[in-house]
Structure 1
Amino acid sequence: MRKSYGVRGPFGRGWPLENAQDRDLVLITGGLGCAPLVSVIHYALNRRQLYKRLVIMQGVKHSNDLIWRQQYQQWAERADIQILLAADETGAHWPWAKGYVTNLIAQAQFDSDNCIALLCGPEVMMQTAAKQLLQRQVPEQQIWLSMERNMKCAVGHCGHCQYGAHFVCKQGPVFNYPEIKQLLSQAGF
């Protein structure tokens, strides 16, 4: 007996990797926000000649929460990648920074005028990271954020994923910072 399954998707807008070519690629993630960007990392590594510097920053609550630990260690050994990791709380054998990932942005080596920053994680982390990138003179149009919302219909009818005037299922989940910067500063969105 054969079964068939229907698959829908992908929906919405993904990461603007075509805009990142010939630029530094800066990835800032918090918690499980690394999961949506791991495919971007592999994509960039498989097409390394398309991008200039590759900077990967990841923050976790506790050092034991870091997933893909071995992968980060392998990437850190490469001369063409800068890895900056942070944990709020550290355990034994944690070789990276203690604190918030946003504290590492000042150490990141990238060209503010010629980079694309991709952010994924808790909204408060992304809001802080975006502000720090702006302080480093990264143009706001070069900052992209992934907004997480529960989606039901995936076509913008149910309103379950509404974020201000935006529907995450259709216009997101990846948004350019200027599109949502006002919403990021409002509690309850």
Structure 2
Amino acid sequence: MINSKDSYKHFLSEDKKALNIVETNKISISLNPYNIDLEIWRFQIQLRKCEYLYNLNKKNILWKLKKFFAARLFKKLSCKLGFTIDPNCFGEGLRIAHRGTIVVNGRARIGTNCTINACVNIGATPGFDDAVPTIGNNVYIGPGAKIYGKIYIADGCIIGANAVVNKDCLETNMLLIGIPAIARKPKSN
């Protein structure tokens, strides 16, 4: 969780590394319409900025104006890219692989170095707002995966494309595939 200027800078640095962003001046972001990673990077900057501004929650008027404008730009980028991601869900090193529909319940907690693809839904069990997933570190979430319920996914797991995960996976470095997802050890070469 971002709770200081130093942690804010650290989260941005880790996210930048995860996205393999090399050049990030404002001109390169706004003038290159073909580099989607830069648009996603811009979204992640606003996500982390909102986390920073809202977690510190200072009471002066200037801080409130910063929060308002940061949240407004965050919402605009969210709609443009198709992301419904609340602040404080993801740890550092977030990598959003593609633009497209991504929905994450605001109460879900996802660890560090997560890669998430398009058409992913991380949500609550219907009728139970607090029954949301907790996902460990270094997890890859494939395109179209659906993860829901009060479940835990261990560190290093790979969730396959279009998998529906509704049960815990307590063992690390597992491959979760199928509908409903079944945990398997990945084959090693």
Of Structure 1 and Structure 2, the greater strand share is in: 1
TM-score norm. by structure 2 comes to 0.31
